[in-house]
Amino acid sequence: MAKAKTSGERLARGRKKLRQIHGPGGEAVIAGLGEIAPDLARYIVEFAFGDIYCRGGLTLKERQIATVAGLVALGHSQPQLRSHIHGALNVGCSRKEILEIVIQMALYAGFPAASNAANSAQMVFRERDSRGIKG
Amino acid sequence: MAKAKTSGERLARGRKKLRQIHGPGGEAVIAGLGEIAPDLARYIVEFAFGDIYCRGGLTLKERQIATVAGLVALGHSQPQLRSHIHGALNVGCSRKEILEIVIQMALYAGFPAASNAANSAQMVFRERDSRGIKG
Amino acid sequence: MAKAKTSGERLARGRKKLRQIHGPGGEAVIAGLGEIAPDLARYIVEFAFGDIYCRGGLTLKERQIATVAGLVALGHSQPQLRSHIHGALNVGCSRKEILEIVIQMALYAGFPAASNAANSAQMVFRERDSRGIKG
Amino acid sequence: MAKAKTSGERLARGRKKLRQIHGPGGEAVIAGLGEIAPDLARYIVEFAFGDIYCRGGLTLKERQIATVAGLVALGHSQPQLRSHIHGALNVGCSRKEILEIVIQMALYAGFPAASNAANSAQMVFRERDSRGIKG
Amino acid sequence: MAKAKTSGERLARGRKKLRQIHGPGGEAVIAGLGEIAPDLARYIVEFAFGDIYCRGGLTLKERQIATVAGLVALGHSQPQLRSHIHGALNVGCSRKEILEIVIQMALYAGFPAASNAANSAQMVFRERDSRGIKG
Amino acid sequence: MAKAKTSGERLARGRKKLRQIHGPGGEAVIAGLGEIAPDLARYIVEFAFGDIYCRGGLTLKERQIATVAGLVALGHSQPQLRSHIHGALNVGCSRKEILEIVIQMALYAGFPAASNAANSAQMVFRERDSRGIKG
C-alpha cells in the first residue's frame, strides 16, 4: 500500500474506492450521515475506504466476501449489510455467491441471522432488477 | 451439489471435507466433542461439513474467508476461529490474507475483536512453524 | 431418535414438525424464504425441523422455552422471536409463561432486550386475539 | 445510597428519577410496556431507576454517558438508545457530546453500530427541535 | 408473587433461592464477587434471585432451561453458563436435557456457541462425577 | 480538532495520547500486536489514539467512561476491558466510578457481563496495588 501523506489524499483515495464499490449511492449515504456526524462520515471515507479498503493482500472481491460475512454474523446492521451486498455485486461477486456466504454463516451465527440476511439480499436483488442493473 | 441420499453418505462426505480443510486435527476435535455430545458432533460432520461445506457456489478458499470473517465478527469463539484459520491456510489462504480479513473486520466489529483475532492468528502461525507446516 | 434415511424423509418429517409448531403460517414463511434462498429454506425444514426439532430429550414445550429464551438473548432477530412465540403458544406454553421467559432474560441480556421481546410478545398476542386463536 | 425500605418507596424514588431523566415521555413508555408486561415495567422503575440510577458514585451525566455508550455497543436496541440519548441531553449532555460518544464507540463496536447510532441521534435531535426543546 | 416488603426480606428470600438452585457453591461465588463489588453481589441476590427467580409462572426447571439457553446464545459468559448448568441439574434437569438445550441453540446462535457450551457442560458433568453428585 | 496532516504526525500524536492513557504498558501491548499485525497496530495508534482519542467534545475521563461501558456491554473482550480500566484510572476515574459503570451496564448487557467486568476490575485493582499505583 502506498501511504497517503495527508488527510486530503486519503479522502480523495477513499472517495474513489467508495465509488468503485458502492457507486453514486454510496456517496449519498455518506452525505446523509455527514449531515448529522460529519467527522464520522469523514472517518468512514478517509479511514475505512481510504486506508483499509485500499490495502492489498485481498482482492476487492475477497474483501467484500469478508465484509458481507462479518455483517451477517453481527446480525444487527441490516442497512449496512444491504449496502455491502450491493458493493460485493458491484465488484464481481455473483448473486449465487452472496447467498452461499449467507448459508455458510448459518453455521456460525445461526439460522435467524442467515434468514434475515437472505431477506436483505432479496431486497438488494429486486432493487437491482428494478433499476436494470446486471449482477 | 449432488444430494447425499442417506445419513451414512452425508457423514462420509463430511468426514472427507473435514479432513480436506482441517486435516487429522479436525477429526480429533470432533472426536473430543463426540465424547460429551455425540449427536452435536455428528451434526457438525453431517450437516456443517457434509451438506454446507460440500456446496458449490464459492471456492473452498472463499468459503473459509467468509467463515474466518464471521468468527472474527462474533468475537466470542476464539478456539473455533483458530481452527478455521488453520483450515483457511490449509485450503490456500496465505497468512497475509488471514491478517487482511482480521483488519477488514476491525471496521465492522471493532478493534478489540480484531486484536484478539490477530493474537489467535499468531498462535496458529507459531504452531504451524513449530510443526514445520508451510503456509 | 429414529434416523431418517434420506433427504426426502427428513423433509417430510421436518414439514410435519413445522406444521405442528408453527401451523400453516410457518410453511408460508419458509416458502417466502425459498423464493430467494431455496437451499437455506430446505436446510431449515430438513435440518432444523426434521433433525433437531424431532429429537427427544426435551418435550416440545421445553424446546420452545429454550428457543424463545435464546432469541430474546440474541436480541437481533425479532421476526424469528415472534414466530417462535407463536410456536411456543401453539405447543402448550401460556402467554404468562412467555412473559416469564422474557423477564428471566432481563437478567442475562439486559432490560432493552427484554423490553423489545415484550413488545414482540404483545404483537403476537394481539394477532392471535384478532384471529380468534386461543392461547 | 440510602436504601429504600419497601417496594413502594423504591417505586416512588424510581418514578421521580425516571421523570428527571426522561421527562413525561419516559412514563408513557413504561406505561405502554406495563400493558403487556406489568412486572417488567415495575422492575424497570423499581430496580433500574429506583435502585441503580439512584446510586451515587457517578454524576447523572456520567451515568448517561455510560448508558448511551453501552447501548451503541450492543447495537440491537435502537429505541432504547434513542430514549437514553433524550435522557442524556435532559441531564446535561450536549448534542456534541452524544456524537463524540457515538464516534468513540466506532472503535469498539465498529462503524455500522456507530452509523446506526448517529442516525438515532439525528432522529432525537430533530424531534427536540420540532418540539422546541433546548439541548 | 408475594411482594417482599423490605430489602432484608428480599435478600433472605434470594439467599434461600440461591441455595436451592446453586447449593453452597453459589453463595461462595456471590461472596467472591462481593469482595470487589458488594452492591452488585447484593443486587444479584436481592433482585435476580430474590425477585426474578422467586416469581411463579414457570417451574424452576423451566426457568433454568430458559437461563441455560440464553447463556448459550450470548456465548460470552462461560463461567455463568457452567454455574447455571449446575443449577439446572440441581433443580431437576437431566444431563441429557442440558445437552438438548445446547443442541437446540446451535440453530439460533451457531455451532461454535453450541460447541463451547457442550465443553462447559462436560466440565460440569465431570466435576459432579468427581464429587459424587447424582444428576 | 487540529487535523494532523501526515501519517507521521498522526502516529506521533497517537503515541503521546496512548502514553497519557495507558502509560508504558500500552506501548508494550501495541508492540506485541505489532509483531503479528504491524498495520493493525499502526491503525490503532494512528486512527484510534491519534484521531479519535485526540478529539475534543468529551473530557478524557468522559471518553474513558464511554469506552469502559462499551467494552462491558460487548462482553467478549476482557483483555481490552482491563486495559481501558487501567486507562480510565490513569486519567482521573476512581475505582468506585469504575464499579458504578459496571453496575450500570448490568441493566443493559445483563448480570453475567457485569460480573465478569467486576472480576476484570478486581484484577486491575490488585495489579495496581501490587505495583504501588495510586488510584
**Rounded Cα distance, E6 and D134, in Å:** 40
Comparing CA positions, the residue from E48, E16, E69 lying closest to residue F111 is E48
Query: How high is the ipTM of this complex?
Result: 0.95
**Rounded Cα distance, B13 and F43, in Å:** 43
Task: Specify the DSSP class assigned to residue A64.
Answer: H
Flag whether residue A78 sits within 8 Å of chain D, measured between CB atoms: no
Q: A with D: how many residue pairs have Cβ under 8 Å apart?
A: 51
Q: What's the pLDDT at D1?
A: 45
* Position F86 pLDDT exceeds 50: yes
Dump pLDDT digits (tens) for A31-50.
Answer: 999 999 999 999 999 999 99
| B20-24, C97-101, F120-124, range with the lowest pLDDT | B20-24
Flag whether residue A66 sits within 8 Å of chain D, measured between CB atoms: no
Flag whether residue D76 sits within 8 Å of chain E, measured between CB atoms: no
**Rounded Cα distance, B47 and B43, in Å:** 5
E121, B37: Cβ pair inside 8 Å?
A: yes
Q: What are the backbone dihedrals phi and psi of residue B126, each rounded to the nearest 5 degrees, phi first?
A: -65, -40
Nearest CA in chain C to E65: C66
Chains in contact with C, where contact requires at least 3 CB pairs less than 8 Å apart: A, B, D, E, F
Q: Which among C76, C113, C118 has the least Cβ separation from residue D37?
A: C118
Minimum distance, in Å, between the CA of residue F67 and any CA atom of chain C: 19
Average pLDDT over residues F106-116: 97
Chains in contact with D, where contact requires at least 3 CB pairs less than 8 Å apart: A, B, C, E, F
Give the contacts of B22 (CB within 8 A, at least 6 positions apart): B29, B83, B86, B87, B90
Dump pLDDT digits (tens) for B9-53.
Answer: 999 999 999 999 999 888 999 999 999 999 999 999 999 999 999
Q: What's the pLDDT at B4?
A: 57
Flag whether residue A38 sits within 8 Å of chain F, measured between CB atoms: no
pLDDT tens-place values along chain E, 135 residues long:
455 578 899 999 999 999 999 998 889 999 999 999 999 999 999 999 999 999 999 999 999 999 999 999 999 999 999 999 999 999 999 999 999 999 999 999 999 999 999 999 999 999 999 999 989
* Inter-residue contact D27 to D61 (CB < 8 Å): no
B43, C55: Cβ pair inside 8 Å?
A: no
Q: Enumerate the residues of chain A whose CB falls inside 8 A of the CB of residue C80.
A: 111-112, 115-116
Q: Enumerate the residues of chain C whose CB falls inside 8 A of the CB of residue B1.
A: 39
Q: What's the pLDDT at B24?
A: 86
* Position B81 pLDDT exceeds 70: yes
B7, C7: Cβ pair inside 8 Å?
A: no
C121, D80: Cβ pair inside 8 Å?
A: no
C103, D35: Cβ pair inside 8 Å?
A: no
DSSP 3-state assignment of B93? Answer: coil
Minimum distance, in Å, between the CA of residue A100 and any CA atom of chain E: 16
CA end-to-end span of chain F, whole Å? 29
**Rounded Cα distance, E100 and C66, in Å:** 10
* Inter-residue contact C18 to C45 (CB < 8 Å): yes
Residue % of chain B over a pLDDT of 70: 97
Residue % of chain A over a pLDDT of 70: 97
* pLDDT means over runs of 10, chain D (135 residues): 74 96 91 96 96 96 98 97 97 98 97 97 97 92
Average pLDDT score over chain A = 95
B115, F39: Cβ pair inside 8 Å?
A: no
Flag whether residue C47 sits within 8 Å of chain F, measured between CB atoms: no
Average pLDDT over residues F15-38: 94
Q: What's the pLDDT at E36?
A: 95
Q: What's the pLDDT at F24?
A: 86
* Position B114 pLDDT exceeds 90: yes
Q: What's the pLDDT at A5?
A: 74
* Inter-residue contact D62 to D92 (CB < 8 Å): no
**Rounded Cα distance, A48 and B130, in Å:** 35
Residue % of chain A over a pLDDT of 90: 90
* Position C85 pLDDT exceeds 90: yes
**Rounded Cα distance, F59 and A34, in Å:** 23
HSE-up of D124 (CA within 13 Å, CB side)?
29
Mutation to test the E interface, candidates B40, B51, B71, most E Cβ within 10 Å: B40
